[in-house]
Amino acid sequence: MSSNKTAGIIVAAAALFAVAGLAAVKRAPKPAAVSAKGFDPKYTKTDAEWKKVLTPEQYDVTRHAGTEAPFSGKYWNNHERGIYKCVDCGLTLFSSDTKFESGTGWPSFWAPIDKTHVREVADHSLMMDRTEVICPRCGAHLGHVFDDGPAPTHLRYCMNSAALTFEKGK
């Protein structure tokens, strides 16, 4: 399937997703004991602690694997040069050098800054087989990665703006 056709299907699916009112899809909350397992204790918090330091949208997306509505996040159309970091712990994740226009309404990148700065986990929610991308340091849900991106990797790291902060000029 051509990348233009794939992008068209993705845009159509995103539009249907938003129109159907499903833009803020949530999975069952991750229990604190499970979400903290295997992550740096310096960057783990209880649910109550995360709620104090994150906005409701950031908390929903990063701690409960929610999804922001397409074309609604502050970084999907950002064209400034800089570095994208995890909103929960500040780990550097992506550079504007690898950001591209996917047409999906979410910030998309063809590679992370360092492969060890993202963790990929099988995600079988919503009756789909996908690969979830989480922060390896704090366990924050960032988005998903797909194999329909541009060269050289042919990957599309489709991230939620609510899971990111942006530092200009790096």
pLDDT, tens digit, 9 for 90 and up, residues 67-97:
999 999 999 999 999 999 999 999 999 999 9
CATH class held by domain 41-168: mainly beta
In angstroms, what CA-CA distances link 75 with 11, 63, 72, 99, 163? 17, 19, 9, 10, 10
For 53-65, the pLDDT digits (tens) are 999 999 999 999 9
Tell me whether residue 2 is annotated as binding. no
Tell me whether residue 155 is annotated as binding. no
Tell me whether residue 121 is annotated as binding. no
* Reported confidence tier of residue 33, pLDDT bands at 50, 70, 90: very low
Domains of the chain, residue spans: 41-168
Tell me whether residue 89 is annotated as binding. yes
Q: Which residue out of 158, 159, 162, 164 is catalytically annotated?
A: 158
For 97-133, the pLDDT digits (tens) are 999 999 999 999 999 999 999 999 999 988 889 999 9
Q: pTM of the entire structure?
A: 0.79
Q: Is 57 a catalytic residue?
A: no
